[in-house]
Chains A and B, each alone.
Chain A
């Protein structure tokens, strides 16, 4: 074997190689874990049926319901007939092919990217795929995790492999110590703003540096989650003691000798000291402010202390045109201070920021405070288990006392496939991942923020940092 130094992503690639592609053909990679939800799977199961194919590895496959599911009155049938039919199709398909499913009402139901880690199915050294671009979340464990399309879902169901062209690698070095009120979400929004929504195309991003090492697993998941917003195929963080501690008591964590062997294998999962990345980016955590978006793609962001940039300040003509279009859609003017932007709704949820630490961070800020007049706040835990944990800690009471809606788990207002949507023209501070036109409802306007900024904004009514509450 050659001893060429490798990056972490390259090691994972090597370790999953079933066949090396020749003459321009892609490599064939083995898939260790396949997560399924109702939106991107029905046509894949149809394809299997039409071809008379079976699911190769039911024991590496798991399904949950998240995109269409309501976040209130979950004991009632889903009202929208098309949503109901799509959820029913998943239930029928998983029954027919005998695949494990966590349905609405089950404590392990929730956003697919919250469910995998909480069950301990997501772990270092795996390849993880799902018909959902935010599968990059699972890279936080040192897994190679990618979103795929429905044809690829069918491919994995039938073969447990995927033909893939090798990626390039990019190091995102984040050194320093985050200041109070600044979190993982601010790091990733700053990264996307720096490299733009297309900057990561063709790359696996490896997040490194002291600021990344000092993050909890949940913070790391927030970072890897939004790798796709920089156009990257995956984001990854080398596993360490934080990872191992998080996994140890999870239901599917390896036991006994397997745990020892796993720890041994996982300790190899780092980028070799002499390995060379195809590109490198540096972010200074010491000086980072809370970061928020002003436009209609996740790269259109600034420090919360700044103002909306002038479209003329962009050298690239397409970026300038995109800024003009975004400001018109957002009904905002260049030069407006971000902190002067008033919102109608605050959404705390999504696979980016709806884990227990996110809820705790927001609850700590709003506890004993009063919501700004005219604001509505919706809190949607990432999974039923997160909801139960929050209730055990009394967080639900903090949110309800504050006047927020305390909901059941799901994707909810992140993309509004269920009834949780913004009205046309409505403006939201949202802890989700996409501020695209119409994403949270037709004509809706989205500012992406951290859970702490979301909480402070709900109190003040304008985009705010926790520090603003002390003044």
Chain B
């Protein structure tokens, strides 16, 4: 995974709360077996409304999405993160994220930062006042800067470390192979095995 530290781009205000992953990418786009090319599925149903913010030319090319609370609820589909990433977003901010979405973001190098409701309003105001305003997101200091405004975001320390170091989770875990094998050696014998298959 590429290291993620700091970037500067423009923002997009998504002034909707309770954005579930069925809205971020409808199920019909989940049939692909590739891991890229999901940008056309991003908010596919809402994008059919010409007034939807993704269709606003002022916000084209935005890399920072600032959304209402309870973002990414519902289905576990990692495709939601892939769609945001493929569309060009590098960071999403909200006052509350669903747990699985938060975990999925961390695996894909998408910064999902928690900000207060008040800071959400502040960022929306700044972005709407000047859609071309440059926003700098700095992961090590956990700060978002736009114009003169600096907002702090929360992200768990471990995810931050992994993102800034560009580390692969599986690689990290496999360093603990001995501990895994030791655990396996003492697993209870009543625990089920799928093989050999029974009940077929």
Question: Cβ of B17 and Cβ of A321 under 8 Å apart?
Answer: yes
Question: Cβ of A436 and Cβ of B23 under 8 Å apart?
Answer: yes
**Identity of the chain A residue whose Cβ is nearest the Cβ of B104 in the assembled complex:** A149
Chain A interface: which size bin? 35 or more
Q: Which residues of chain A are within 8 angstroms of B194 by Cβ–Cβ distance?
A: 33, 58-62, 100, 121, 252
Question: Cβ of A100 and Cβ of B195 under 8 Å apart?
Answer: yes
Q: What does the 1/0 interface line of A401-443 toward B look like (CB < 8 Å)?
A: 0000000000000011100000000000000001011110010
Assess whether B143 is interfacial by the CB under 8 Å rule.
Answer: no
Q: Which residues of chain A are within 8 angstroms of B158 by Cβ–Cβ distance?
A: 21, 24-26, 165
Can you identify 13 A-B contacts, CB atoms within 8 angstroms? A28-B179, A133-B75, A148-B103, A158-B174, A159-B174, A160-B180, A160-B184, A197-B73, A201-B99, A417-B31, A434-B22, A438-B23, A442-B26
Chain A, range 4-33, C-beta contacts under 8 Å to B:
18-19, 21, 23-26, 28, 30, 32-33
Q: Which residues of chain A are within 8 angstroms of B192 by Cβ–Cβ distance?
A: 32-33, 120-121, 123, 126, 252, 254
Assess whether A97 is interfacial by the CB under 8 Å rule.
Answer: no
Question: Cβ of A85 and Cβ of B33 under 8 Å apart?
Answer: yes
| Contact with B190, one of A58, A67, A119, A254 (Cβ below 8 angstroms) | A254
Question: Cβ of B33 and Cβ of A18 under 8 Å apart?
Answer: no
Q: Which residues of chain B are within 8 angstroms of A325 by Cβ–Cβ distance?
A: 16
Question: Cβ of B107 and Cβ of A151 under 8 Å apart?
Answer: yes
Alpha-carbon distance A80/B28, docked complex (angstroms): 11
Chain A residues in the interface with B (C-beta under 8 A): 18-19, 21, 23-26, 28, 30, 32-33, 39-40, 42-43, 46, 51, 53, 56, 58-62, 67-68, 80, 82-83, 85-86, 89, 100, 102, 106-108, 119-121, 123, 125-126, 131-133, 147-152, 154-155, 158-161, 163, 165, 197-198, 201-202, 228-229, 231, 233, 250-252, 254, 258-259, 261-262, 265, 297, 318-319, 321-322, 325, 415-417, 434, 436-439, 442
**Identity of the chain A residue whose Cβ is nearest the Cβ of B176 in the assembled complex:** A19
Question: Cβ of B199 and Cβ of A197 under 8 Å apart?
Answer: no
Alpha-carbon distance A80/B68, docked complex (angstroms): 36
**Identity of the chain A residue whose Cβ is nearest the Cβ of B68 in the assembled complex:** A318
| Contact with B31, one of A83, A123, A165, A437 (Cβ below 8 angstroms) | A83
- A42-B33, A147-B100 known; A59 and B195 CB under 8 Å? yes
Question: Cβ of A43 and Cβ of B34 under 8 Å apart?
Answer: yes
Assess whether B70 is interfacial by the CB under 8 Å rule.
Answer: yes
Alpha-carbon distance A159/B183, docked complex (angstroms): 12
Question: Cβ of B35 and Cβ of A438 under 8 Å apart?
Answer: no
Alpha-carbon distance A358/B199, docked complex (angstroms): 23
Chain B, range 1-44, C-beta contacts under 8 Å to A:
16-18, 20, 22-23, 26-28, 30-35
| Contact with B198, one of A119, A132, A160, A265 (Cβ below 8 angstroms) | A119
Alpha-carbon distance A395/B103, docked complex (angstroms): 43
Assess whether B126 is interfacial by the CB under 8 Å rule.
Answer: no
Assess whether B156 is interfacial by the CB under 8 Å rule.
Answer: yes
Additional A-B contacts beyond A32-B191, A197-B73 (5; CB < 8 A)? A39-B77, A43-B78, A133-B75, A252-B192, A262-B188
Alpha-carbon distance A233/B199, docked complex (angstroms): 30
Q: Which residues of chain B are within 8 angstroms of A120 by Cβ–Cβ distance?
A: 192, 198-199
**How far in angstroms is the closest Cβ of chain B from A65?**
13
- A108-B200, A163-B169, A417-B27 known; A151 and B22 CB under 8 Å? no
Q: How many residues of B contact A (CB 8 A)?
A: 63
Question: Cβ of B176 and Cβ of A18 under 8 Å apart?
Answer: yes
**How far in angstroms is the closest Cβ of chain A from B68?**
6
Question: Cβ of B198 and Cβ of A251 under 8 Å apart?
Answer: yes
Assess whether B98 is interfacial by the CB under 8 Å rule.
Answer: yes
Assess whether B118 is interfacial by the CB under 8 Å rule.
Answer: no
Question: Cβ of A198 and Cβ of B70 under 8 Å apart?
Answer: yes
Assess whether B173 is interfacial by the CB under 8 Å rule.
Answer: yes
Question: Cβ of B170 and Cβ of A108 under 8 Å apart?
Answer: no
Q: Which residues of chain B are within 8 angstroms of A53 by Cβ–Cβ distance?
A: 170
**How far in angstroms is the closest Cβ of chain A from B57?**
24
Q: Which residues of chain B are within 8 angstroms of A322 by Cβ–Cβ distance?
A: 17-18
**How far in angstroms is the closest Cβ of chain A from B176?**
6
- A18-B183, A318-B68 known; A437 and B103 CB under 8 Å? no
**Identity of the chain B residue whose Cβ is nearest the Cβ of A251 in the assembled complex:** B199
Q: Which residues of chain A are within 8 angstroms of B51 by Cβ–Cβ distance?
A: none
Closest 10 CB pairs of A and B: A251-B199, A151-B107, A42-B33, A149-B78, A149-B104, A262-B190, A251-B198, A82-B31, A254-B190, A24-B157
Q: Which residues of chain A are within 8 angstroms of B18 by Cβ–Cβ distance?
A: 197-198, 297, 318, 322
**How far in angstroms is the closest Cβ of chain B from A176?**
30
Alpha-carbon distance A155/B103, docked complex (angstroms): 13
Alpha-carbon distance A449/B171, docked complex (angstroms): 45
**Identity of the chain B residue whose Cβ is nearest the Cβ of A259 in the assembled complex:** B190
**How far in angstroms is the closest Cβ of chain A from B162?**
9
Alpha-carbon distance A40/B187, docked complex (angstroms): 28
Question: Cβ of B191 and Cβ of A126 under 8 Å apart?
Answer: yes
Question: Cβ of B174 and Cβ of A19 under 8 Å apart?
Answer: no
**Identity of the chain A residue whose Cβ is nearest the Cβ of B28 in the assembled complex:** A417
Question: Cβ of A231 and Cβ of B99 under 8 Å apart?
Answer: yes
Q: Which residues of chain B are within 8 angstroms of A107 by Cβ–Cβ distance?
A: 200
Alpha-carbon distance A25/B27, docked complex (angstroms): 33
Question: Cβ of B170 and Cβ of A158 under 8 Å apart?
Answer: yes
Question: Cβ of A161 and Cβ of B173 under 8 Å apart?
Answer: yes
Alpha-carbon distance A436/B19, docked complex (angstroms): 9
Alpha-carbon distance A132/B30, docked complex (angstroms): 13
